[in-house]
């Protein structure tokens, strides 16, 4: 199965900061990558799919890039609503593996 | 509006069985793949099983293969997960998720609110 590794596991930042989360795949997944945001007690919400396509209704401060084995999620200017846990997920194969998550905390 | 409503969770003893249901509305159910994802308490997300729109294609995580069975009733717009031989490590919130199209690999764009399964004696 394809392994997905996110870094960092925890990220402390302030409102207005620019932050980047990295996701690495154990083998090439082309651009078949999605990013999800999850808040405590809530279901995950898709932010980006196909590595860089913003899901409808998601603020433009979120962006994704990468292909092959290395991907990034960038939030250009953190807002209070953005403090949550973020997961990458590959959909190149049916194992649909998730990264272990990155918890974005308020500094 | 897409809505996914899971039910059937609860407390079950190790070795027991449980069937989860997910009632879907707001879209043409039979034309979209569906799936189950779980999240153990305080842990990350784990894909359990997807199923194609027709129900003819399924996949299972190694951790549940041979114990769980995914199915769907397109006439009732309902997704199911039959869970047998349950173990303590199956304790999790189980989410139902909707795919982007009928078949093939894809991402899942709508998720239900989840149902908690607790396996304990």
Give A88's pLDDT tier (boundaries 50, 70, 90): very high
**Chain A: closest CA distance from residue B17 (Å):** 24
For the cut 90, the answer to whether the pLDDT of residue A107 exceeds it is no
What is the DSSP secondary-structure string of A53-93?
EEPTT--TTEEEEEETTEEEEEESS--GGG-SEEEEEE-SS
d(CA B113, CA A12): 27
> Between A and B, how many residue pairs show a Cβ–Cβ distance under 8 A?
52
> Which residue, among B49, B52, B88, has the nearest Cα to B69 in the 3D structure?
B49
Residue B104: its pLDDT value, please?
86
If contacts are CB pairs under 8 Å, which of residues 34-73 in chain B contact chain A? 35, 37, 44-47, 50, 59, 61-62
* Residues listed for chain A: 107
The tens-digit pLDDT sequence of chain B (121 residues) is 999 999 999 999 999 999 999 999 999 999 999 999 999 999 999 999 999 999 999 999 999 999 999 999 999 999 999 999 999 999 999 999 999 988 888 999 999 999 999 999 9
d(CA B68, CA B8): 14
Residue B40: its pLDDT value, please?
98
Please state whether beta strands A33-38 and A102-106 pair in parallel, antiparallel, or not at all (unpaired). unpaired
For the cut 90, the answer to whether the pLDDT of residue A60 exceeds it is yes
User: Best mutation site among A31, A96, A99, A102 for testing chain B: the one with the most B CBs within 10 Å?
Assistant: A96
If contacts are CB pairs under 8 Å, which of residues 73-112 in chain B contact chain A? 95, 105-109, 111-112
Residue B61: its pLDDT value, please?
95
Q: Are B66 and B77 in contact (CB under 8 A)?
A: no
List the single residue in A with minimal CA-CA distance to B114: A43
Q: What is the rounded average pLDDT of the residues A80-103?
A: 95
d(CA A81, CA A98): 23
Please state whether beta strands B92-99 and B115-119 pair in parallel, antiparallel, or not at all (unpaired). antiparallel
Q: Which residues of A touch B108 (CB under 8 A)?
A: 46
What is the DSSP secondary-structure string of B41-80?
TTS-EEEEEEE-TTS--B---TTTTTTEEEEEETTTTEEE
Q: Are B99 and B34 in contact (CB under 8 A)?
A: yes
d(CA B79, CA B71): 6
Q: Are B52 and B71 in contact (CB under 8 A)?
A: no
List the single residue in B with minimal CA-CA distance to A89: B107
Residue B63: its pLDDT value, please?
96
Match 């569906």 to its residue by tokens. Answer: B34
């Amino acid at each position: 199965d394809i392994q997905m590794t996110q870094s960092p596991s925890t990220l402390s930042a302030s409102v207005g900061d620019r932050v980047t989360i990295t996701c690495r795949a154990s083998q090439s997944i082309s651009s078949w990558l999605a990013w999800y945001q999850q808040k405590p007690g809530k279901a995950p919400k898709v932010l980006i799919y196909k590595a860089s396509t913003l899901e409808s209704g998601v603020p433009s401060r979120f962006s994704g890039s990468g292909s092959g084995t290395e991907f990034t999620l960038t939030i250009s200017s953190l807002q209070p609503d953005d403090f949550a846990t973020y997961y990458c997920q590959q959909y190149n194969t049916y194992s649909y593996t998730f990264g272990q998550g990155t918890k974005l905390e308020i500094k | 509006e897409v809505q996914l409503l899971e039910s059937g969770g609860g407390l079950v003893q190790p070795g027991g069985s449980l069937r989860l249901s997910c009632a879907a509305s707001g879209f043409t159910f039979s034309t979209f793949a569906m799936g189950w994802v779980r999240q153990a308490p305080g842990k990350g997300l784990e894909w359990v099983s997807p199923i194609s729109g027709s129900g003819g294609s399924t996949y299972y995580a190694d951790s549940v293969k041979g114990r769980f069975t995914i199915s769907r009733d397109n006439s009732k717009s309902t997704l199911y997960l039959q869970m047998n031989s349950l173990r303590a490590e199956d304790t999790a919130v189980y989410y139902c998720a909707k795919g982007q199209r009928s078949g093939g690999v894809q991402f899942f764009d709508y998720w239900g609110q989840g149902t908690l399964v607790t396996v304990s004696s």
